[in-house]
Amino acid sequence: MGAGQWWDAHVVPRLIRCACAAPAIMDLRAEVVPGARGAVFELGCGGGINQRFYDAEAVTSFAGLDPSGKLLDYARDEAVRKGWAADIREGVGEAIPFADASFDTAVCTYTLCSVSDPARVLGELRRVLKPGGRLLFLEHGLAPDAGVERWQHRIEPLWKRLMGGCHLSRPVTASIAAAGFAIDGQHGRYAPKVPRLAGWMEWGSARRAD
Ligand SMILES: C[S@@+](CC[C@H](N)C(=O)[O-])C[C@H]1O[C@@H](n2cnc3c(N)ncnc32)[C@H](O)[C@@H]1O
């Protein structure tokens, strides 16, 4: 195993679990994730951090997908802790292994930054949602300030290599709207105590509108 593969296999999962559990980020998860209802699909469920925020009374089934074996182990542990039967699978958002119109809610947090093809992934999320189904999203992305944006572009090549393919400068809500979702509610701000480069957060709810 080369140094890069070792870093990705052993260091990145721990870095992600730690960075993604910062207090300001947990506060945002608590605003977004409890809104999930019915049959729920979480893309990028690795790490399992969101599971504690789901309202188990409102969720009738839970499925998750992630390509990282190590992060999936954490997610399966969280499912045991939660005490629910979760269908957690290994795979990528570019080819979601569920039938069309399977879910009432799709949840995507801090994942669009890392996928290979965000437009394709959003198309897949739309496909697996029932008509009128909702996508709950919470992502960091392209900052609205030119100075921050400039640094996001400068640092991104190195950041990507160190952080498991995470991009700093991807537009969030705009790409969700471009994929054919109707945006129901949208918020954006810098998270406190998170470096601005990765600190511009956008979150909200979008509907599969046919
Ligand atoms: C920054 S972590 C966030 C994990 C989790 N979503 C959260 O909110 O804590 C990014 C996640 O995206 C996953 N990921 C990377 N490429 C992906 C892809 N093509 N499809 C689905 N998930 C992917 C990673 O394995 C990792 O679990």
Residues 9-52 pLDDT 10s: 888 878 877 888 999 999 999 999 999 999 999 999 999 999 99
Residues 129-188 pLDDT 10s: 999 999 999 999 999 999 999 999 999 999 999 999 999 999 999 999 999 999 999 999
Both structure tokens of 79: 């499912």
Residue 210 identity = D
Domains, the chain, ranges and CATH?
3-208 (3.40.50.150)
Whether residue 89 contacts residue 67, with contact meaning beta carbons closer than 8 Å, is answered with no
Find the residues whose C-beta lies inside 6 A of ligand 1: 16, 20, 43-44, 46-47, 49-50, 66-68, 71, 92-94, 109-111, 114-116, 166
* Residue with CA nearest ligand 1 atom 10: 111
* Residue with CA nearest ligand 1 atom 8: 109
pTM: 0.96
Angle ∠(117,123,125) on CA atoms, nearest 5? 100
pLDDT at site 82? 98
Q: Which atom of ligand 1 is nearest to the CA of 19?
A: 1
DSSP state of 189: E
Q: Which residue has the higher pLDDT, 164 or 82?
A: 82
Nearest to 50 by CA among 124, 108, 95: 108
* Residue with CA nearest ligand 1 atom 13: 44
Q: Which atom of ligand 1 is nearest to the CA of 108?
A: 6
Positive or negative, the CA dihedral 31, 175, 106, 49 is negative
Q: Which atom of ligand 1 is nearest to the CA of 116?
A: 19
Q: Which atom of ligand 1 is nearest to the CA of 29?
A: 8
